[in-house]
Amino acid sequence: MLVSATEMLKKAKEGKYAVGQFNINNLEWTKSILLTAQELKSPVILGVSEGAGKYMTGFKTVSAMVRAMDEELGITVPVALHLDHGTYNGCYKCIKAGFTSIMFDGSSLPFEENIDKTKELVNVAHQLGLSIEAEVGSIGGEEDGVIGAGECADPNECKQIADLGIDFLAAGIGNIHGAYPENWAGLSFDTLAAIQEKTGIMPLVLHGGTGIPDDQIKKAISLGVSKINVNTECQWAFQEATREYIEAGKDKEGKGFDPRKLLAPGAQAICDKVKEKMELFGSVGKA
Ligand code: 13P
């Protein structure tokens, strides 16, 4: 059931668990995530980066596919179709294409411009019933060409953005996209606690969910994180399962070259990874 992410994240914040945002790349990814959410009775957020949207031939295609799949599979758990790290123009494209949620990432802009554009998009999104995420303090690393330095957000700036009426807030707390380096200092819980204190009931978003140790994930949830984004770990799971299949020569056995067979181990690996994360985040049975 396609919905905005507002209610599911409000409930998550109150219930002290987090809803996973899993990024999608194609039909297999989408199907694996939807089926796992349904099986586990968990709410879920499908994240679409601008790069992935382009890869899938455009946001209209993505929206049509997700809506049709949601119906054909009889999905009854709440599903939000969310733009990940959207530009100003990308947000408008997704609103038009039928997404149920957008993220405007103005973190690389001068703060005043981030405020102005976020404010405008909050009004447009809410008029049409979409939820909206904003960002303060860039997330480190690189995702689909979006490169961030990974600074910790200023809690006062977080409060100013939160006061614009956004539905959930991404704030840098030492997290980065992709693999964490060996010498990573870990999440800054002092920053997270200060942001939580300033922003109160606002659900907070933890980007760069890949590779964060379980104890840090649990602590982050206890300090107000209600949405956790995972992308790279699903890619690794898919890659490893596909590699195993080919290295075992299974693509050469019988009709093992059939794409439905070739992609099946990777699709199953995504189901398993999403299940593991939903259990860790505490969203199982919360739909
Ligand atoms: P990872 O690729 O590090 O899991 O980050 C995902 C993310 O934050 C998407 O916005």
pTM over 0.85: yes
At residue 150, the pLDDT reads: 65
Kindly state the percentage of the chain with pLDDT values over 90. Answer: 92
CA 24 to chain centre: 9
- Indicate the pLDDT class of residue 58, thresholds 50, 70 and 90: very high
CA distance 274 to 20: 8
Q: Which of 84, 105, 154, 167 is catalytic?
A: 84
Encode pLDDT of 141-151 as tens digits. Answer: 666 666 665 67
- Indicate the pLDDT class of residue 154, thresholds 50, 70 and 90: very high
Residues 6+ apart with CB under 8 A from 116: none
Cβ(84) – ligand 1 distance below 6 Å:
yes
Determine phi and psi for 282, rounding to 5 degrees: 85, 20
> Are the C-beta atoms of residues 143 and 49 closer than 8 Å to each other?
yes
214 is known as an active-site residue: no
Residue identifier of the C-alpha nearest atom 5 of ligand 1: 208
Encode pLDDT of 170-183 as tens digits. Answer: 999 999 999 998 88
Cβ(177) – ligand 1 distance below 6 Å:
yes
Q: Which of 46, 168, 228, 230 to mutate to test the pocket of ligand 1 (most atoms within 8 A of CB)?
A: 230
Cα angle 287, 27, 36 (rounded to 5 degrees) comes to 30
